[in-house]
Amino acid sequence: MARKYQTVLVTGASSGMGKDYVLRLLKEGMTVYAAARSVDKMADLAEAGAIVLAMDISKEADILAAVDKIKAGHGGVDVLINNAGFGKYGPVEETPIDAARYQFEVNLFGLARLTQLLVPAMREQGKGLILNVSSMGGQIYTPLGAWYHATKHAVEAWSDCLRLEVASFGIDVVILQPGIIKTGFIDGLAQNFDGDDNGPYGQMIANSNNATHKAYQRGTGSPVSLVSDTVVRVIRADRPKTRYVVGESARPLMVLHRVLPTRWYDALILRAVR
C-alpha cells in the first residue's frame, strides 16, 4: 500500500463490514484503531494487532475518551472510516419518535461529532481521508425504512458539504454506498423493528419481512470482502472518487431511481410488499 496514509480509525468494528475492514487494513500494514461498544467482540482484532477502543458512538463521553487515546498514541489519524450504524425499520406512524431520534444519534450525530474532533489533526498535517459508510439507501427509499433512509440521505448531504469545506486542507471526503452485503444486518433489523403486526400496516410488514428473509435464504448478497477491497482502493487512490457503489442490487436500484418517473419507481418498490 502506498504510504500516503498509515493510521486509521474504524468505528462499528465489532462485526460485519467494520471488522473485515480492520483485519484487511492490518494485513496492508496500517496502524488500525478499532472502536465499538462491545470490546469482547473485538478480541480477535486485538490479537491481530488492532488497538481496540470501547466507544458508544451515541455518547459524548465515549467519543471524547476514544479521541484522547488516539491523540495520546499517534496525535490523530490519517483515515477515519465512519462505519458505525444500524437500521431502524417500521411504519412512520408507529415508530416512536425517541427511537427515530436515537437512529439519527447513532447514524449521523455521533459520526459528525467524531469527525469534528479528528479533522483538526488532519488539517494541520495537510492530508486526510474521511470515508463515510452510507448505503444504497442513501439514494433510494423503501416503505418501512423512513428513518433509516432519512439518516443515510442526511449522511450523504452532510458529507458533500464537508467535502467542500475541507478540500483546501488536503482532506478527501468519500461516501461508500454498499448494496446487499452478507453481514448481520438482517438480524439487526429483527431487533430494531417497530410496528403492529395486527395493525393497519400489518400486511405490508409481513410481506416486507417475507421478501427480505427469502432473499437472504437464497444466499443473495455480496461478500464483505468486496467492500473491504473497495476501502483499500479508496485509501490507495491519489484522487479518490466522491462516491463508490459496491455490492448486489445497489447500482441497478440507484439507476432505476434516477431514470424512472417517481410514480413508476414507487410502483416497482411497492410490488414487493403487496
Span 221-259, pLDDT tens digits:
888 999 999 999 999 999 999 999 998 888 999 999 999
Give the pLDDT score at 2: 46
- Averaged pLDDT, 53-73: 98
Residue 247 has phi, psi (to 5 degrees) of: 105, 160
240: left (phi over 0), alpha (psi -120 to 50) or beta: beta
Domain ranges of the chain: 7-273
Give the pLDDT score at 1: 45
Compute the distance between CA of residue 112 and CA of residue 60 in angstroms, rounded to an integer. Answer: 11
How far is C-alpha 247 from the geometric centre of its chain's CA atoms? 14
Compute the distance between CA of residue 74 and CA of residue 94 in angstroms, rounded to an integer. Answer: 46
Amino acid (one-letter) located at 1: M
Compute the distance between CA of residue 9 and CA of residue 31 in angstroms, rounded to an integer. Answer: 9
What CATH class has 7-273? alpha beta
Query: Residues with catalytic annotation?
Result: 148
Give the pLDDT score at 189: 60
- pLDDT reading at 185 higher than 60: no
Share the mean pLDDT of the chain. Answer: 92
pLDDT in tens, 83-139: 999 998 999 999 999 999 999 999 999 999 999 999 999 999 999 999 999 999 999
pTM of the model: 0.93
Q: Which residues have C-beta within 8 Å of that of residue 17, sequence separation ≥ 6?
A: 83, 133, 178, 181, 183, 224, 227, 228
pLDDT in tens, 126-177: 999 999 999 999 999 999 999 999 999 999 999 999 999 999 999 999 999 9
